[in-house]
Amino acid sequence: MWGAGVLFRDFFRKTKYAILDTPGRLQSREQDVSIRCEECGELILLKDIEKNFKVCSKCGYHLKMTAQERLNVLLDRGSFEEYDKNLETVDVLKFPGYHEKLEASREVTGLREAVVTGKGEIEGNTVIICIMDPRFISASMGSVVGEKITRALEKAEEKKTPIIIFSASGGARMQEGMLSLMQMAKTSAAAARLNEDGVLYISVLTNPTTGGVTASFASLGDVIIAEPGALIGFAGPRVIEQTIRQKLPSGFQRAEFLLQHGLIDLIVERKDLRKVLSRMLVLHKKS
């Protein structure tokens, strides 16, 4: 009976979802052999780029990573346990094109929304982790993204477990109107509680992090780390250029610019990220 039930249910299942796990190493796809670096234009062999954490071997450019790829390289093998994967986005405003955009993003990413949250281990240290995936409508923050991040922050507070959030976002999700803007207040308020309870929050800024995410939880970490060359800012560079009608200085709004202006703690290359995060977690262990 039970088996039949499962089959019956499987027959009618509708919602697509990729199982996220941490197999330890990226699977190689034999059909694609090489990829072109967005920065220097060099053709790089896929097997090299995978060995190299998706960093261009010629110029050091950090290519965008999917949420799945980040989990794979960051967490201990098999340690990931996903939270809240059953939250579904609602097109509250019946916004033109939004439904199609959501469907297309789901298809491309295998994800239901722009952030993956859960629990895992980094070199044996338990952490709560949120990873935004820039392929999903520019990882803009709508109600579901805000809710998942808030729940993860609340879980960190409740369990007194450190949290790491990897941001990559174009900002608030216009298609959800004011409810998307309010996610900034919601996530920041949750970060405030964590702050009062003395729980570690590490914010990792990846390319690109802008708008409402920069202006909320991403800027509120106890420690703020950025990947080399990541674009990080509030207003987008094009908007600024159009407003002030002058060319922006080179390197403007890049991670190195933010470090120079005292806005972030440190820049860490991707290959060292796991090690640095692990050390940071150990340094915050209560003795």
Partner 1 sequence: MTNKLEFDKPINELEMKIKELQDFAEEKDINLDDEIKVLKERLYSFKKETYENLLPWQKAQVARYVERPSTRDYINLIFKDFIELHGDRCYGDDKAIIGGIALLDKRPVTVVGHQKGKDIKENVSYNFGMPHPEGYRKALRLMLQAEKFKRPVICFVDTPGAFPGIGAEERGQGEAIARNLMEMSRLKTPVLVIISGEGGSGEALALAVGDKIFMLEHAIYSVISPEGCASILWKDSSRAMEAASLLKLTAEDLLGFGVIDEILQEPLGGAHREPQEMAAKIKEVLIKCLAELEDTPVNELVKGRYEKFRKMGSYSIFEEGQLEILPRDK
The only residue of 43, 59, 108, 239 in contact with partner 1, by rule CB under 8 A: 239
- Contact map string, positions 57 to 86, toward Zn ion, x by CB under 5 A: -xx-x-------------------------
**In whole angstroms, how far apart are CA 231 and each of 9, 50, 204, 244?**
45, 22, 12, 19
Sign of the torsion formed by the C-alpha atoms of 47, 108, 268 and 166: negative
State the amino acid at position 19 in one-letter form. Answer: I
Q: Can residue 287 be called a binding residue for partner 1 (CB under 8 A)?
A: no
- Burial of 70 per CB tally in 10 Å (0-12, 13-18, 19+): buried
When asked if residue 205 is in the footprint of Zn ion (CB under 5 A), the reply is no
Query: 276: which residues sit within 8 A by CB, 6+ positions away?
Result: 225, 266, 268
- DSSP H or E stretch at residue 163: strand 163-169
- Minimum distance between the CB of residue 115 and partner 1, rounded to whole angstroms? 13
254 forms beta bridges with 231
233 binds partner 1 per the rule CB under 8 A: yes
Which 18-37 residues touch Zn ion, going by CB under 5 A? Answer: 37
253 binds partner 1 (CB under 8 A): yes
Nearer to Zn ion, 56 or 139 (CB): 56
Decide if 266 contacts 225 (C-beta within 8 A).
yes
Q: Residue 5 Cβ, how far from partner 1 at the closest point, in Å?
A: 10
Footprint of Zn ion (CB under 5 A): 37, 39-40, 56, 58-59, 61
Provide the binding-site residues for partner 1, judged by CB under 8 A.
9, 13-19, 85-90, 92-93, 95-97, 110, 143-144, 146-147, 150, 172, 174, 176-186, 188-193, 195-196, 211-212, 214-220, 233-236, 239-240, 243-244, 248-249, 252-253, 261, 263
